[in-house]
Amino acid sequence: MFDRREVTGMKYGNCLIDLHLHLDGSLSPDIIRKISRLQNETCTLNDQELEERLMVSEDCKSLDEYLEKFEFPGYYLQTKETISAAVSLLLEELHEQGLIYAEIRFAPQKHKERGLTQEEVVLAAIEGMKNAPIPASLILCLMRGDDTSSENLETVRLAEKYLHKGVAAIDLAGAEALYKTHLYKTFFDYASSHEIPFTIHAGEADGVESISYALLFGAKRLGHGVRAYESEALMKSIKEQNVTLELCPTSNLNTQIFIDLKEYPLRTFLSFGIPVTINTDNMSVSHTTLQKEYDKLIDIFHLTDEEIKQLLLNSVHASFASPEVKALLENKIKGRID
Ligand SMILES: [Zn+2]
C-alpha cells in the first residue's frame, strides 16, 4: 500500500503547507476504517480495495468523472462523530507527513444526508481541530449546482458566524464548466461586504472567463487558476492584483487539463512573477501527498532550494491564518534555511 508518511530528502520536507485540501477527497483507508466503526459499520474492504474505491483510475476522463469519487467517502461523513474524527485523524496524518499548517475545505451542505444541519456539520469539523498537532483552518465550500442558492447563502452566513473561530474563508466548488462562475456573484458580494475572505475554484475545468469573474469578485486566491497561462493579459491582472494560485499538479493530470507534468506552466508563472503555491487538492482521489507533489515538480523543473523556500513562503503569505500563526510559520521556514 502507498505509504503517505514517506519522506524524501527534500530540505523543506518538514515545513510543508497545504492551502487546497478537500476533506472528503483526502481520507486514507485507515481513516475510512476508523470512522466507519463510529457509525457502527464494519468496513470489510481491504486496503487495496479501499484505495480503489477512493482514487481515480489512470484513465479518468474529466473533472466530472473525478468528482464522482467523492460519493464513497461522503457516505461516512454524515454524523457529528465521524466528521470530527475525520478532521482530527487527517490533521494527525498531515503532521506525520511534515505539514506545519493546513486549510481543510468541505461543503457543509454535502453532509446533511442523515439529518445534520449545516451548522452542526461546521461545529463538528471545528471540534475535530481541537488538540490538533498543527495549526489549521477550515474553508467552507459553496457548491455549483442547479438548486444550491439557499444552501449556499446559509454556508456564507455560517462562515461569517464562525469566522476566526475555526473557519477562515469560503470557496466555490463543483462542476465549473457546467455551472459558470458568474452565476455566483451574489455570494461573493456578500462575502466582500462582510469581510469574509474567499478563494474560488476557477481556471480548472473552465478557462479564462471563469478566472476573470473570480478576479472581478475580488478573490485573493484562485483554486487552481492554472489555465491563466492561456492568456497573458489575464496573468498580468493576476500579478497586478497580487492574487495567489493554489496549484494542484497531479489533480490537473487526473482531470486531463494536462497530459504530462512536463507541460505544467509552473515556470511560466514563476517567471511572470505570479505568486503560486503547491497543494494536493485530494490526497486519496489523486493518490498523492504534498511531499510527492513537490518531489515531482523538483524533479521535472529542477527547482532550487531558494525557489522551494519561496513557494512555501507564498503559502504562508496567502494563507487565511491569523498574523500570529503566519509569523510562526514564516519563522519555521526561515529557520530551516539558516
Ligand atoms: Zn479543489
Ligand 1 center–CA 97 separation, angstroms: 20
Look at residue 273 and tell me if it is in a domain: yes
Whether 8 is covered by a domain: the verdict is no
Residue 106 belongs to some domain of the structure: yes
Interval between CA 188 and ligand 1 midpoint (Å): 18
Residue 5 lies in a domain: no
Helix or strand or coil: residue 200?
strand
Is 263 an annotated catalytic residue? Answer: no
CATH code of the domain covering residue 210:
3.20.20.140
Question: Given CA atoms 102, 327, 218, 240 in this order, what sign does their dihedral have?
Answer: negative
What is the per-residue pLDDT for 5?
A: 55
Does 7 have pLDDT greater than 70?
no
Mean per-residue pLDDT for 99-110?
Answer: 98
| Residue 3 is assigned to a structural domain of this protein | no
pLDDT in tens, 37-82: 998 888 888 888 888 888 887 777 666 667 778 888 999 999 999 9
Q: Which domain holds residue 217?
A: 16-337
Q: Which tens digits make up the pLDDT trace of 124-159?
A: 999 999 999 999 999 999 999 999 999 999 999 999
* Distance of alpha carbon 140 from alpha carbon 282, whole angstroms: 16
Percentage with pLDDT > 90 across the chain: 79
Q: Where are the alpha helices (DSSP H) in the chain?
A: 29-38, 47-54, 63-68, 71-75, 80-96, 118-129, 149-161, 185-193, 208-217, 232-240, 249-254, 266-272, 290-301, 305-318, 323-337
Q: What is the pLDDT of residues 197-231, one digit of tens each?
A: 999 999 888 889 899 999 999 999 999 999 999 99
Structural domain contains residue 7: no
Residue 283 pLDDT > 60: yes
**Does pLDDT of 263 surpass 80?**
yes
Average pLDDT over residues 237-265: 94
Number of domains making up the chain: 1
What local confidence, expressed as pLDDT, does residue 156 receive?
98
> Per the residue annotation, which of 204, 209, 232, 293 is the catalytic one?
204
d(CA 63, CA 274): 25
Cα(131) to ligand 1 centroid in Å equals: 26
Distance 21 CA to ligand 1 centre (A): 7
For residue 1, is pLDDT > 60?
no
Comparing 84-93, 247-256, 275-284, which segment has the lowest mean pLDDT? Answer: 247-256
Residue 243 in this model has a pLDDT that exceeds 90: yes
- pLDDT for the residue numbered 338: 43
CA 223 to centroid of ligand 1, rounded, Å = 6
Establish if 177 belongs to a structural domain: yes
- Whole-number Å distance, alpha carbon 18 to ligand 1 midpoint, is 12
Tell me the average pLDDT across 278-285. 96
User: Ligand 1 centroid vs 279 CA: distance in angstroms?
Assistant: 9
Mean pLDDT for 315-329 is 97
**Distance of CA 40 from the midpoint of ligand 1 (Å):** 30
10 in a structural domain: no
> Is the pLDDT confidence value at 83 over 70?
yes
